[in-house]
A = this chain, B = another copy of it.
């Protein structure tokens, strides 16, 4: 059994003067204040037959789309709707795929929220590493972002593995949020600033990524496959559920000195298995740890 790790290995403590800590050591040294609990009012549970997908919504980036999605969730809009598209190395898409629910929220016209305005006061945590798709990358509110302070003056959520967006037709239709997708493959960064993103999957990506691929164009399930499509049991905001039905998780903060050490431990992997540290990390290659609340 050849083991090569994406995560950490059990390792002894580092003595003074030793190389920078590896991932396991950074996380073992974390304090409670290095972790945050996602806002229940922006935490969306997508309960599927196979289990729960937990999505953190990003109201700073797409306030009207997030509000519309929350309104639909409140009205139980998604309950019983299918996962209708699974395109390999691209996206899993769910919701009103067949456009059968013509509610006010589902048909609402929403403004362009692909980007927000750059502002020097934004608490952006910059990643120093070069990126080909954006002049700058980093994290804002715990989400991976791209930024172009000049000349565009823009910040936007990046399409990484697990990022959640709003399906749309041709522009200027921005979508209502009645169909949502999550990235299940190589980060399709060419979609950045082309489509509205609303959040990120914190838990349960494996439930979305391991589904059978649809055989119609773009990964939509064919007529023959439709009867087998997984149906959403319920989509709820954590804040609208009793405490007993919530999943208690914490997410590593991205705005701490510990996070900077974590990024360095991922940029240059010094676990015994590695021969040659990369000296670089892409914003979409850094997974942000999530843990259960004990």
Q: Tell me whether A1 and B220 are in contact (CB under 8 A).
A: yes
Q: Tell me whether B1 and A282 are in contact (CB under 8 A).
A: no
Q: Tell me whether B194 and A274 are in contact (CB under 8 A).
A: yes
Known: A170-B273, A210-B213. A6 touches B186 (CB 8 A): no
Question: Contacts of A194 on B, CB cut-off 8 Å?
Answer: 273-276
Q: Tell me whether A276 and B2 are in contact (CB under 8 A).
A: no
Question: Contacts of A90 on B, CB cut-off 8 Å?
Answer: 6
Q: Tell me whether A2 and B169 are in contact (CB under 8 A).
A: yes
Determine whether A117 belongs to the interface, using a CB cutoff of 8 Å to chain B: no
Known: A186-B186, A210-B212, A280-B133. A2 touches B98 (CB 8 A): no
Question: Contacts of A238 on B, CB cut-off 8 Å?
Answer: none
Known: A161-B185, A218-B5. A211 touches B210 (CB 8 A): yes
Q: Tell me whether A6 and B218 are in contact (CB under 8 A).
A: yes
Q: Give the size category of A's interface with B.
A: 35 or more
Q: Tell me whether A3 and B169 are in contact (CB under 8 A).
A: yes
Q: Tell me whether A218 and B3 are in contact (CB under 8 A).
A: yes
User: Top 3 A-B pairs ranked by shortest CB distance?
Assistant: A2-B167, A190-B278, A88-B206
User: In the bound complex, how far is the Cα of B190 from the Cα of A129, in angstroms?
Assistant: 14
**Contact residues, A219-278 vs B (CB, 8 A):** 220, 266, 269, 272-278
Question: Contacts of A1 on B, CB cut-off 8 Å?
Answer: 84, 97-99, 179, 220
User: Would you call the interface of chain A mostly helix, strand, loop, or mixed?
Assistant: loop
14 residue pairs of the A-B complex, CB under 8 angstroms, read: A2-B167, A4-B168, A6-B87, A86-B210, A88-B209, A89-B161, A129-B132, A130-B130, A131-B132, A132-B282, A161-B186, A188-B285, A190-B280, A206-B213
Chain B residue with Cβ nearest A8: B217
**Contact residues, A77-91 vs B (CB, 8 A):** 84, 86-90
In the assembled complex, how far is the CB of residue A151 from the closest CB belonging to chain B, in whole angstroms?
A: 14
Q: Tell me whether A175 and B2 are in contact (CB under 8 A).
A: yes
Question: Contacts of A189 on B, CB cut-off 8 Å?
Answer: 278, 280, 282, 285
User: In the bound complex, how far is the Cα of B133 from the Cα of A274, in angstroms?
Assistant: 15
**Contact residues, A53-92 vs B (CB, 8 A):** 84, 86-90
Q: Tell me whether A285 and B193 are in contact (CB under 8 A).
A: no
In the assembled complex, how far is the CB of residue A272 from the closest CB belonging to chain B, in whole angstroms?
A: 6
